[in-house]
Structure 1
């Protein structure tokens, strides 16, 4: 209550200029928002000062933090597991690695008691390579090859990326991805109990499928033979790397796998293989020649030493022998000088050859780039006209043969330049039919052209067929004609 003006004036006279400051402090104390704002401006410094003084802040906050973490885990354990997934994996692997090292050490002690011929050979290999005896035994007894790797979206079961080893005939990866997802769902529905039970290993004769389930994606590899334990570690590390680098893309996945094209080199690293070393017969002939050479060298050294002793004795006796030795030394110096000149000439010739080779490589690269541009223009300018409402293609048509020849030549040149080619085939239609029939006809014409080129020898992975009536096809590819168009992409 402020009172009358006289009372207010009396208060100012009694308290002086501090009266207004006291009123402002009272208003701040009574207003919770102003008080909170004032305390917030100094709370960090206050906590730091008290913690540095006696450490009471940590002791007080510890129970609250523990309760908060416990509540978060109990309310949403999956989210907490997803957050700790990139951190807990390396820690668990480190613990497992330490245990494996101890087991390998014990195993190594047991194997050291073996006195077979093969064990002695393995001991020699361990000494030569610097590895432990147990590791050499494991390397010599395991044979396996990772033939394929699949990256599958966890929620939709759609294939995100797929790689296959060389000289391995793989089936349709989309079908394999769907089957793995179906098997996982079947096992969970039929046999799983409470909680999340995921399929981790699948055995099919000589093939073993190892599966690693991440928060947003499933990584599976197909192994022929006996898969070692390090493959599971490689699988886990690769899954963690994928989730760390593409976490947002996996969370926001809407069916477009193009965002995961950069994962192909990472999946290729999973295509490892081990082969048994073929036993070879001991090179007795080489050993004999080596011993003969060593013996001849020892005999030559002995004779040389004897000749030196005799020469020193002769030099001490007569001055003529000293002059002969001086002449021999001069002749040797001249020979060394001649050899040095010849060596310099050879080195200059080698440098000139290297410069010429570099120039030739640069010119060849320029020619390859120009030829690639020409072939790309010719392929994208090619066209094949269909009959009305037809999808038939004459494989002997000159335009088909010319297009096939250009594509083959482009594949050969890009193989030399370490580039990958992808050719998109777009099917066009005129406006004579309905929209639905035109869309189907455009896709059929593109698929038919892709099949014709594959039969002509073009690799299937190079060709992709689209109908221009699809919504995601650029408007520049739409033409009111019964034909096919092509777009070349290089990676």
Structure 2
């Protein structure tokens, strides 16, 4: 009897261990199954949100990081000008060489065409202009090939350099900064050379000429590309004098937008008359 009790006790102990192991395994399986099911359910809800955020992130990167990258590049270029020049010089040299060759060929073709067109009405007019103005006919031909063109007009307050009005045919970085720099250069030159009240009238910068016409409380600066001839300068001076008759009496009361409008209308009419 005692022996049977011991065997029964041993069986109970063994069965208890087996049951506990089986229960532990079942609990583990249930936990894993529940986790998988919850992840699948969670993915159904989360995946669209993640995809939408990723799409927005891709769209917003240029807007948020673009200015930062641009500023960083500008700073790096400013601090490493020599290295940038060394890297770009071979490429830019070839481009400039090709451009100059192309322009020389184009100039040669245009000159040949004008020379061959010696007896045309335009050629006869050119000869008379050369005769009466004293300008060489070759110079007149060059001016016809590269006619002067007004790119920018600035109406600037004397002394302060405040931009009162502007007409622009090109993309300019900062018009207020340009008006301030022009005033600083103008004041420096006029003071440095002690011109006895004389005013700076022109600045030449590579392919551009800046015509400056002075009035009592303001001056007008006109940026010109092309061949800036004496005849064009005289014509421009006369036009600016006519413009000043409209601006001067009310320059202190007009807003910048109003002066911009006056410039647009004035130079639009002038372009029509030139055609």
Name the TM-score class by shorter chain: 0.3 to 0.5
Tell me the TM-score normalized by structure 1.
Answer: 0.27
User: Which structure exhibits the higher relative contact order, with contacts defined as CA atoms closer than 8 Å and separated by 6 or more residues?
Assistant: 2
The structure carrying a bigger helix percent of its residues is 2
Tell me the TM-score normalized by structure 2.
Answer: 0.47
